[in-house]
Amino acid sequence: MRIDVVTIFPEVLGVLDVSLLGRARATGLLDVRVHDLRDATHDRHRTVDDTPYGGGAGMVMRPEPWGEVLDGLLADGDDPLVVFPTPAGTPFTQPTAVRWAGERRLIFCCGRYEGIDQRVVEHTAARARVEEASLGDFVLNGGEVAVLAMVEAVGRLVPGVIGNPASLTEESHEGGLLEYPSYTKPALWRGLEVPAVLRSGDHGAVARWRREQSEARTRRVRPDLLP
């Protein structure tokens, strides 16, 4: 899968070089390319923002550099899905990650300040598939951290990126419930014991216990996830 990220802070995306996704990049499973929006400016100060029409606080990203960068990226083809991370977007959830993991190519456009001139979204939507997506009901300073989270959530679902694909199916949100608690050795630690059922060798009992734990945890902390 090819992933393009456009940002004025390319160094923030540098953490994608490490860990699991770093290995996937190194082996070619993920082709992540980070682009500096300022390379598409043509003034001495490499200006990317300006004051908002209609007044108000903050700065808005000007459309011209975005238009130029997206012209270049869209010319590469492969029917990419273009994502604009914004707190005003549709919530990004595990089903979103699963859907995006099926794409051949994703382009992420990181806005800063009060956002990107809306005409960029409109113009892009006329020539590509576009989604505005929010990481959650909170406000970040820009799309970069949201994109890091989205790329990690999507990238680990790309076949081959995770060594043991079974570990993908039992985790929180994949089945609509939160994950059950996990334990490892030693069986007794600081007076706290691993639940006996997990050491019983009874696979049916273990499965039932985990299911109950998942349901109880979901009822307690995320009742909104239950049908």
CA-nearest of 28, 50, 46, 30 to 38 is 46
9 among the known binding-site residues?
no
Residue 114 interacting with ligand ADE (CB under 6 A): no
Q: Which is nearer to ligand ADE, 75 or 139 (CB)?
A: 139
- Count of residues near ligand ADE by CB under 6 A: 12
Can you tell me whether residue 18 is helix, strand or coil? coil
User: Is residue 7 near ligand ADE by the rule CB under 6 A?
Assistant: no
Q: Which of residues 60-89 bind ligand ADE (CB under 6 A)?
A: 85-87
- Contact with ligand ADE (CB under 6 A) among 59, 140, 162, 206: 140
* DSSP characters over 113-146: TT-B-HHHHHHHHTTSEEEEEESSSS--SBSHHH
Which residue, 65 or 142, has its beta carbon nearer to ligand ADE? 142
Sort 223 into a burial class: Cβ within 10 Å, 0-12 / 13-18 / 19+.
exposed
Taking CB under 6 A as the binding criterion, the range among 20-28, 98-106, 123-131, 132-140 that sits at the site for ligand ADE is 132-140
Binding residue positions for S-adenosyl-L-methionine: 111, 135-140
